[in-house]
Chains A and B, each alone.
Chain A
Amino acid sequence: MKKVPYRNLISKVLGVSLVVVLLLSNSLLAQEAAAAPSGEGDAVKGKQLFNQNCAACHSLNKKMTGPALAGVTERHDKEWLYQWIKNSSAMVKAGDAAAVKIYNEYNQAAMTPFPTLSNQDIDDILAYTDAPPVVAAAPVGVAESVPGGGSSSGISNEIILGALALVFALLVMMLVLVNKTLRRIAEANGVVLEKELAEKRLPIWKAFAQNQFLVLVFSIFLLLSAAYFAYGWMMQVGVDQGYAPIQPIHYSHKIHAGDNAIECKYCHSSARVSKTSGIPSLNVCMNCHKSIYEYKGNPEGPSAEDLANGYTNEFYTGEIKKLYKAVGWDEENQKYTGESKPVEWVRIHNLPDFAYFNHSQHVSVAGIECQTCHGPVEEMEIMYQYSPLTMGWCINCHRETNVKVEGNEYYEKIHAELSQKYGVDKLTAAQMGGLECGKCHY
């Protein structure tokens, strides 16, 4: 009975989505069609080429290592541009006035020559820089025109929950009503309820108090369970599983390792060779963030969940600016100011000093995935300690994990001898001596 409007809703949502998709594709097609004939170049192809070749140093509307390229055709003629892009340093050498000016303006950093780009390619790129296809704007506009229809899944979840709550409330109300009616009927029929009888009985708590055996059993049970919980509580003292402190810069592993699939060891490079995985120094961040100065997020825009947390594009861009401040990067002039301020990260994984742990042993030698201990980092918006990092946890893994001996000459002899001794095919870390106290405590 109550489900009808709900079913209607779904179909409505589906309908709206369809309309959105259609509208979207329409507008895309329309734009492409409009862009293609506007110049000799193909702006869509140009965008691809731009991202491949130019984006490291250039942006459309912003000065980076090189100048902003929007409207560059208005500043220079095409022939000049062909020549410049294919070999700028030759132009500078030859003393072309405009070339020398740009060269000097941008700290005398010579632009990488692109002799492989054909004139058509350059035309495409220039077409893109002159009139970039406004893809990003389209869905926003459509979404505005059909409010509430944009991101369907999040809202419909809420509706489902709301409807369920409503149903539940109705059920409760009905139950009360039925009960009341029945009572009334009973009274009217002269049925005596057994209330008075019950009052004569000994209250249950008194009976309990008088039964000493029960009291004894109960208190033993109480003490034991208290001890159990106390023990459990004590054992977690100093175990910071789930510790997710607020960091000075909101660094999202989800965006870096998840969305952009950056390999962990690209930034945590010392994990390969050192005992510490190392928090990357800020110059490592700047390898990418020199050109990634703002967060553009998913093409669909931030999810409702993100929005609820305040993780808007502006928020992330703000965090990038924090990085610039710390590393002393002057965005305007694309220069380091030399005034840097190291970031004081809050350490999450912190082994006690008496335990020795070496990342390279586990990462390089054993080939263990970072996620084995650090959890699904690529999904962590806020980094937290995934594993308990207790000794029991270490030992367990050493007991269960086989040593990766393949292709490692070091293990050849010892593996052959030990596996024969223990009569196994594959040795665990424990059998290799990984449980000895002195391997980690010295």
Chain B
Amino acid sequence: MSSNKKYWKSEAELNPNDSIVETLRQNEFVQEIPVDDFLGDKETLAASSTNRRDFLKYVGFSTAAASLAACEGPVTKSIPYVVKPDNIIPGVANFYATTIANGFDFASILVKTREGRPIKIENNTDAKIGGSANARVQASVLSLYDSTRLQGPTFNGEAIAWSELDAAVKSKLASLKNSTKKIAILSQTYASPSTTRLIAEFREAYGNVDHITYDAISEDAALTAFEAKYGERALADYNFANADIIVSFGADFLGDWQGGGYDAGYSKGRVPKNGKMSRHVQFEANMSLTGANADKRVPLTPSEQKVALAYFYGKLNGTAGGGNLPESAKAALDAVAAQVLKNKSNAVVVTGIEDVNAQAVVLAINEMLGSKAFDVAAPKYVRQGNVQAVKTLLADMKSGKVGALLMDGVNPVYSLPNATDFVEGIKSVDLTVAFSTNRNETTELVQYVAASNHYLESWGDAQLKKGHYSLMQPTIKELFDTRQFQTAILQWMDSDKTYYDYIKETWSAGILAGNDWNQALHDGVLVSVPAMGEDVVAAVAPKVAEEEEMTTEVPLASAIRSLSTATADGMELTLYSKVGMGDGQQASNPWLQEFPDPITRVSWDNYVTVSKADAEKLNLINENVADGGLNGSYVKLTVDGVALDGVPVIVQPGQAPGSLGLSFGYGKTVGMKSEMQTGVNAYALYKDFSNTQNVTIEKSAGMHEFACVQLHKTLMGRGDIIKETTLEIFNTKDAKEWNVVPVVSLDHQEVPATSVDLWDSFDRSIGHHFNLSIDLNACTGCGACVIACHAENNVPVVGKAEVRKSRDMHWLRIDRYYSSEDTFAQDDTKKEEFDGLFGDKGSLGGFGEMEDPSANPQVAFQPVMCQHCNHAPCETVCPVAATSHGRQGQNHMAYNRCVGTRYCANNCPYKVRRFNWFLYNENDEFDYHMNNDLGKMVINPDVTVRSRGVMEKCSMCIQKTQKTILDAKRDGRVVKDGEFQTACSAACSSGAMKFGDVNDAESEIVKLKESNRMYHLLEHVGTKPNVFYHVKVRNTNEA
């Protein structure tokens, strides 16, 4: 059937008289071809002795010559050490215990080095306290090899020598010694006994020295409240493993709340043991990682959270706390208050509301309950930032009272909400020095930029929690001409000590308390009660800036009153930090940029999260467009006159209506590769360091292109993918009812799918047989495993455009699903009850509805990597046998054999295979770490770097299992249980991932496999995977 449709390229074409259209129709090329430019010069053409035939000859000969020359094999040089260090054996990894303390992330870690290069971060299992390596800490090793790092000190942008810098700074400091102007040190939180002592000595040497600690993301309210109550500027510690009831008012404690690191303890209590597990109720505005893991989540705007906290306090005390709250929230609060009262010391209450009153109330509640999970005797020191002091400093700078400003580990021009004040103030400071690893907004403005060490090149110590000390030791010599802040301070004090000596001195003076220094350095951690003199204690204990008046304890009654009357004006914005980006100091880290946010699954961006109701009201949309990408509207956010335009929108299920969310850490531009300059800077809206703001929101023009790795949000009632049940059913009913084995029809009889097979089974009872267990109850979705997998397996970074095309290379992904009804169980029921195509229960409309997540959905996380099927569908379709099965249960992938048909990926029911569409290393199109010599130093030498056109996937870290086996063979012993690890299982601090040999009858993995919660993903397909999951159990017990 012929058609008379006319296709047009632009609107102008519709007008038959349009002159431009007519002109364009006549011209084949829109622009004139500049023929004259290269053929016009007749003389040169004539003078040239090369005619066409000659030219072709040259081409032919040079091609032939080039191909002949290529036949010669390359000569590879091998350069041994001149003097080999005793402890380095080429090819054998060394591990060093050290500590990350960059002002935002604090953790005791192990660093794996190969031939002197740190290549991977592991958890230090000796560390007794939280703060295990999260995704950012795992990725921090790549920041060491950042090609944009500062390579030496500069003065007004010109490279200078350290000696020049020292001389200039010293003379300036000396001249300030007796002047009225003060020397200000603006730094990150160190939590370091030695640095605290050092700065005190520096103060003695130069007088008039102010040390202002500044956290980009402030915990000032919590610190102030704690200080008022307990007299020390610190943070209460919580051990969620000891809590049966956890109530959180906006505290994202699985994220970065008060320094983070609570996931291990939390997960311990979440695994049902003897029929018991903790119950977690979350009241919050944004859908946070913590809220996603909660048993019950009540979306409340920040102001409602305050009221709710007051109401909750009233309920606990039997007094009537007023306030405007939705009825459903009140009911939830009533229920949880009753539960808390019943459990008393087994309950714990936390809040993330950046408000002294709220923090004080929570401290009072926990004290009142006598919570076992609440620890104030040994508080945490990982946040020390003092908002008041920073404000004072800004005022002093403006008024010219500051003679010298030394900065370390901070980027105030980027992260201060009132950065313009700072920029103005810095002009009145005579001497400005910034220590920084990278060029940033602040280093652009200062006179002296002191290129600083990465923490893996530095000495240091930290007291993460009272009595829990950690040591930081360099794992590599400084890559560039850099120097750490403390060394410089020692220099400027004319001390001949190195910072190492200095730390040792500090530790010997008390911290060691009879322990061996070398042993402490070897372990990286030391738990000790320092027996030191008063003066040392005073020096070591974090100090309150002297000029600040002592805060008095907030009277609870007035606190409650102010909380219960909290109101909001318009929309309320909650600023938060993302698991992947934190406060943004590692924004130029490609691993972290490409790390998909656990909740939204969006990488390479930050965005404002809006509830569905508000999105409809404001006409904001998210849509999946034809190229498979996700697009979203732009909005303009205004806080108190400060506007942030071009903020993309994500419609977030579970976002409290009337609230918005926006994450810190993005929108950096200075000193960053253009690919890394993503997102918008939320610090601009961080007025008065309050994480909640009243904001006006307007729609702007245009659509934003997201790089989102998961476009499908719900399970559509497929309860067999993430099996879940409630604690009640789990405790009372048989596993057959809540962990249903799928059935298939065999000879017209329904039999369990596991009993039917197309193939004969291979006997796997001999030797090792590896299995990976993933407990969906313990998994918080934090994503440390994703980055650990990147580091271990040389997974390439592909960039935003490629991720948008679903070409991300993550070997391990953490799927996030929302329920379409209020719970997943209701989804399943709804699907079961579909009846016919049309009508109320019709499947046609019904499935459409099920694609939409609920306004406050249940959330489930599921890490998925290659399932290493014993009957793998990928293996049977490979035409070149590039993927095959090993006896140990691993599905092998021989890259050099792969020809790239991608049949395997198409036949994989789990969609875990990744194809190298391009060469991702040594390719300027992908200018990430694998495109420069420095970045390539992070590559694991035991794993092949894949080339273009081959398929890759999780290998179950075969290089690690083989290494373990070889170690055992060499020692002539059997492999002990727990020795086998994969990168993900080793990185998993919550204990959700366990790896082991199921042929070792004594091993933990066997017990896990025999658990009645065990199931395989898509069991009915009959793939017999070697990865298994544990049914998620939710504690819905409200009584």
Q: Which residues of A contact B (CB under 8 A)?
A: 237-238, 240, 245, 270, 273-276, 278-284, 326-328, 340-347, 350, 352-356, 358, 360-361, 364-365, 407-414, 417-418, 421, 433, 436-439, 441-442
Q: Are B887 and A436 in contact (CB under 8 A)?
A: yes
A421 to B766, CA, bound (A): 9
Look across to chain A and name the residue whose beta carbon is closest to the beta carbon of B942: A356
Question: Contact at B892–A437, with CB atoms within 8 Å?
Answer: yes
Residues of B within 8 A of A409 (CB): 972-974
Interchain CB contact (< 8 A) of B763 among A282, A326, A344, A421 = A421
Contact of B959 among A281, A341, A442 (CB under 8 A): A442
A435 CB to closest chain B CB (Å) equals 10
Chain B, residue nearest A413 (CB): B974
Chain A residue numbers with a CB within 8 Å of B767 are: 414, 417-418, 433
Q: How far apart are A342's CB and chain B's nearest CB, in angstroms?
A: 5
B91 to A278, Cβ gap below 8 A?
Answer: yes
A-B contact pairs, 5 of them (CB 8 A): A282-B82, A358-B966, A441-B892, A441-B894, A442-B955
Pick the residue among B83, B766, B973 that contacts A418 (CB under 8 A): B766
Contacts of B27 in A (CB 8 A): none
Contacts A346-B78, A418-B766 known; list 13 others, CB within 8 Å. Answer: A344-B79, A353-B944, A408-B969, A414-B766, A417-B767, A418-B767, A437-B882, A437-B894, A438-B884, A438-B886, A441-B893, A442-B943, A442-B944
Given the known interface contacts A275-B91, A281-B81, the answer about A240 and B969 at a Cβ–Cβ threshold of 8 Å is no
B76 near A: Cβ within 8 Å? yes
Docked-complex contact A436 and B884, CB < 8 angstroms? yes
Closest 7 CB pairs of A and B: A438-B892, A274-B91, A281-B84, A281-B81, A347-B78, A347-B76, A276-B91
Residues of A within 8 A of B81 (CB): 281-283, 342
User: Is B159's beta carbon under 8 Å from chain A?
Assistant: no
Kindly state the separation between the CA atoms of A65 and B82 in the bound complex, as whole angstroms. Answer: 20
Pair B92/A274 contact, Cβ less than 8 Å: yes
Contacts of B445 in A (CB 8 A): none
* A343 in complex: contacting residue of B80, B888, B966, B975, CB < 8 Å: B80
Distance in angstroms between the alpha carbons of A290 and B878 in the assembled complex: 59
| B886 A439 Cβ-Cβ under 8 A | yes
B231 contacts which chain A residues (CB < 8 A)?
Answer: none
Inter-chain residue pair count (beta carbon < 8 A): 155
Interface membership of chain B positions 55-90, coded 1 if the CB is closer than 8 angstroms to chain A and 0 otherwise = 000000000000000010101111111111000011
How far, in angstroms, from A281 to B970 measured CA to CA in the complex? Answer: 24
Q: How far is the CA of A439 from the CA of B894 in the complex (A)?
A: 10
Output the nearest chain B residue to A364 by Cβ-Cβ distance: B970
Instruction: Enumerate B96-129 residues with CB–CB distance to A below 8 Å.
Output: none
Query: A273 to B87, alpha carbons, bound, how many Å?
Result: 13
Main secondary structure of the interface of B (DSSP, over half): loop
Give bound CA distance, A129 to B974, whole Å.
Answer: 58
Which chain A residues lie closer than 8 Å to B175 at the CB level? Answer: none
Minimum Cβ distance to chain A for residue B263 (Å): 30
Distance in Å: Cβ of B127 to nearest Cβ of chain A: 28
Let me know if A433 and B888 touch, CB within 8 A: yes
**Chain B residue at minimal CB-CB distance from A363:** B970
Chain A hits for B969, CB < 8 A: 361, 365, 408, 410-411
Known: A421-B766, A437-B894. A346 touches B90 (CB 8 A): no
B174 at the interface (CB under 8 A from A): no
Smallest CB–CB gap between A163 and chain B, Å?
44
> Contact: A354 with B766, CB < 8 Å?
no
* Interface pair A273/B77, CB less than 8 Å apart: no
Q: Find out whether the CB atom of B884 lies under 8 angstroms from the CB atom of A437.
A: yes
A275 vs B84: C-alpha distance when bound (angstroms): 17
Where chain A touches its partner, the secondary structure class is loop
Residues in B whose Cβ lies below 8 Å from that of A342: 79-82
Q: Is the CB of B892 within 8 A of A436?
A: yes
Query: Which chain B residues (846-888) contact chain A, with CB distance < 8 Å?
Result: 882, 884, 886-888
The docked-state distance in angstroms from the alpha carbon of A14 to that of B326 is 120
B731 at interface, CB cutoff 8 A: no
* Alpha-carbon separation in the docked complex, A276 to B968 (Å): 18
Distance in angstroms from B406 CB to nearest chain A CB is 36
Q: Tell me, in angstroms, the Cα distance from A361 to B895 when the chains sit together.
A: 23
A394 to B892, CA, bound (A): 18
Q: Is there a chain A Cβ closer than 8 Å to B890's Cβ?
A: yes
B1007: CB under 8 A from chain A?
no
Write the nearest CB–CB distance from A218 to chain B, whole angstroms: 31
Residue of A nearest to B84 (CB): A281
CA distance A360 to B955 in the complex (A): 23
Select from chain B the residue with minimum beta-carbon distance to A270: B89
A273 contact set on B, CB distance < 8 A: 89, 92, 970
Q: With an 8 A cutoff between CB atoms, is B958 at the interface?
A: yes
Q: In the complex, how many angstroms separate the beta carbon of B85 from the nearest chain A beta carbon?
A: 9
How far, in whole Å, are A208 and B965 apart by their CA atoms in the complex?
Answer: 67
Q: Known contacts A279-B80, A433-B887: does B893 contact A438 (CB below 8 Å)?
A: yes
- The residue that A433 contacts in the complex, of B89, B886, B895, with Cβ under 8 A, is B886
The answer on a CB contact under 8 Å between A279 and B78 is yes
Q: How far is the CA of A347 from the CA of B71 in the complex (A)?
A: 18
Q: Tell me if B945 counts as interface (CB < 8 A to partner A).
A: yes
A239 to B974, CA, bound (A): 38
Question: Which B residues between 940 and 954 are near A, CB-CB below 8 angstroms?
Answer: 942-945
- The answer on a CB contact under 8 Å between A438 and B955 is yes
Residues of A within 8 Å of B1037, CB to CB, are none
Contact A438 B91 (CB under 8 A): no
B966 near A278 with CB under 8 A, answer no
How many angstroms from the CA of A435 to the CA of B944 in the assembled complex?
Answer: 19
Residues of A within 8 A of B763 (CB): 421
Residues of B within 8 A of A350 (CB): 76
- Whether the Cβ atoms of B968 and A345 lie closer than 8 Å is no
- A158–B896 Cα distance when bound, in Å, is 52
Closest CB in chain B relative to A371 CB, distance in Å: 21
> A280 vs B970: C-alpha distance in the bound complex, in angstroms?
22
A352-B896 in contact (CB<8A): yes
What 0/1 readout, one digit per residue, does chain B (326-337) give for beta carbons within 8 Å of chain A?
000000000000
Q: Does B50 interact with chain A (Cβ within 8 Å)?
A: no
A245 with B958, Cβ < 8 A, contacts A278-B80, A414-B767, A441-B894 known: no
* B83 touching A283, Cβ below 8 Å: yes
CB–CB A345/B79 < 8 A: yes
Q: Please give, as numbers and ranges, the residues of chain B lying within 8 Å of A437 by CB-CB distance.
A: 882, 884, 886, 892-894, 897
Q: Is B962 an interface residue (CB 8 A)?
A: yes
B796-852 contacts to A (CB < 8 Å): none
Choose among A355, A364, A410, A417 the residue that contacts B974 (Cβ–Cβ < 8 A).
A410
> Once the chains bind, are B970 and A438 in contact (CB under 8 Å)?
no
Asked whether B968 lies within 8 Å of A410 as measured between CB atoms, the reply is yes
Q: A273-B970, A347-B77 are in contact. Are A354 and B84 (CB under 8 A)?
A: no
In the bound complex, residues from chain A placing their C-beta under 8 Å from that of B77 are 344-347
Report B957 CB to chain A, min CB distance, Å: 9
Query: Would B82 and A281 count as touching, CB distance under 8 A?
Result: yes
Q: Which residues in B have their C-beta under 8 angstroms from that of A418?
A: 766-767
When distances are taken between beta carbons in the complex, the residues of chain A under 8 Å from B958 are 438, 442
With a cutoff of 8 Å between Cβ atoms, the chain B residues found around residue A354 in the complex are: 894-896, 944
Cβ of B75: which chain A residues have Cβ within 8 Å of it? 245, 346
Closest chain B residue, CB of each to CB of A408: B972
Q: Bound complex: CA of A34 vs CA of B886, how far in Å? A: 77
Q: Which residues of B contact A356 (CB under 8 A)?
A: 942, 959, 962
**Cα distance A99–B615 in the bound complex, in angstroms:** 94
How many Å lie between the Cα of A350 and that of B74 in the bound state?
A: 11
Which residues of the partner chain A approach B882 to less than 8 Å between Cβ atoms? 437
Near A by CB (< 8 A), chain B positions 959-1006 give: 959, 962, 965-966, 968-975
**Distance to closest chain B CB from A292 (angstroms):** 19
Closest to A418 in B: B766
- Which B residues from 893 to 912 make CB contacts under 8 A with A? 893-897
Complex contact B897–A353 (CB within 8 A)? no
CB-based contact B89/A274 at 8 Å: yes
Contacts of A275 on B, CB cut-off 8 Å? 91, 942
B890 touches A438 (CB 8 A): yes
Give the Cβ gap from A194 to chain B, nearest Cβ, in Å: 52
Please give the distance in Å from B624's CB to the nearest CB on chain A. Answer: 36
> What is the distance, in angstroms, from B492's C-beta to the closest C-beta of chain A?
30
